[in-house]
Amino acid sequence: MAGTLILVRHGQSEWNLKNLFTGWKNPDLTEQGVAEARATAHKLKAAGLEPNVFFTSALKRAQHTLDLILDELGITEVTITRSKALNERDYGDLAGLNKDDAREKWGEEQVLVWRRSYDVPPPGGESLKDTAARTLPYYEDVILPFVKEGETVLVAAHGNSLRSMVMAIEGLTPDEILKRELATGEPVVYRIGKGGKLKEKVAI
């Protein structure tokens, strides 16, 4: 029997709205972000998906997103596993800076390299490759075993930590994953077989 994996990027955060590099900084959701999280719950309900295992990061915006989804689904008294392994990519010296200000300071080309290359980290921060190096072992060792047992697992996390998982699940190259955008609050749903291989990507 296939298990189900639901990946949800947190709803819009206060710093998404302000066009700031966020990383491991800890802003909360905007009103729009709250609405996005609740809308995700409605999509899951409409698709007949009832998650029963829950993971999130150590950051408020992802935790709040998960709490809102659970509230909207009427799911109470559950165990939620929180881990820094699911945190957003650490943007180092860029964290807290407006993206336009960063371009003025370092130049548009350099900032683009930091944002869109697979293995070049910003000063004091992580590349997507570095993020994958902490996220993927956690996915494979802790999250995937539940899915392989046929559970419906919900992971509320961040654009780059989830990208790392998408890359592994869909067998994408570094170039392909860099082109993949994960919208705030939008669920990505996979059916995964007992062997841990992707059976299908489910549109909801």
Tell me, what CATH number does 19's domain have? 3.40.50.1240
Cα distances from 147 to residues 63, 66, 136, 193, 195, in angstroms, run: 21, 18, 15, 8, 10
88 is catalytic: yes
Orientation angle between helical segments 99-106 and 108-116, nearest 10 degrees:
120
Give the chain's mean pLDDT: 95
Integer Cα distance of 125 and 108 in angstroms: 18
Render pLDDT for 115-127 as a digit per residue (tens, 0 to 9): 889 999 999 999 9
pLDDT of amino acid 2: 87
> Tens of pLDDT along 138-196?
999 999 999 999 999 999 999 999 999 999 999 999 999 988 989 999 999 999 998 89
Check: CB of residue 121 under 8 Å from CB of residue 130: yes
The pLDDT score that the predictor gives to residue 81 is: 98
Query: pLDDT per residue over 21-52, tens digit each?
Result: 999 999 999 999 999 999 999 999 999 999 99
Spatial CA neighbour of 12 closest among 82, 71, 61:
61
How many distinct structural domains can be found in the chain? 1
Query: Is residue 10 flagged as an active site residue?
Result: yes
The active-site residue out of 10, 36, 64, 158 is 10
CA 147/CA 5 separation, integer angstroms: 7
Active site residue: 36, 64, 88, 126, which one? 88
pLDDT tens figures, 81-110: 999 999 999 999 999 999 999 999 999 999
What is the domain extent for residue 179?
A: 3-202
pTM listed for this prediction:
0.95
CA distances 75 to 50, 99, 147, Å, are 9, 38, 19
Q: Are the beta carbons of 89 and 128 closer than 8 angstroms?
A: yes
Q: Which of 189, 152, 165, 203 has its CA nearest to residue 83?
A: 165
Q: How far apart are CA 191 and CA 112, in angstroms?
A: 34
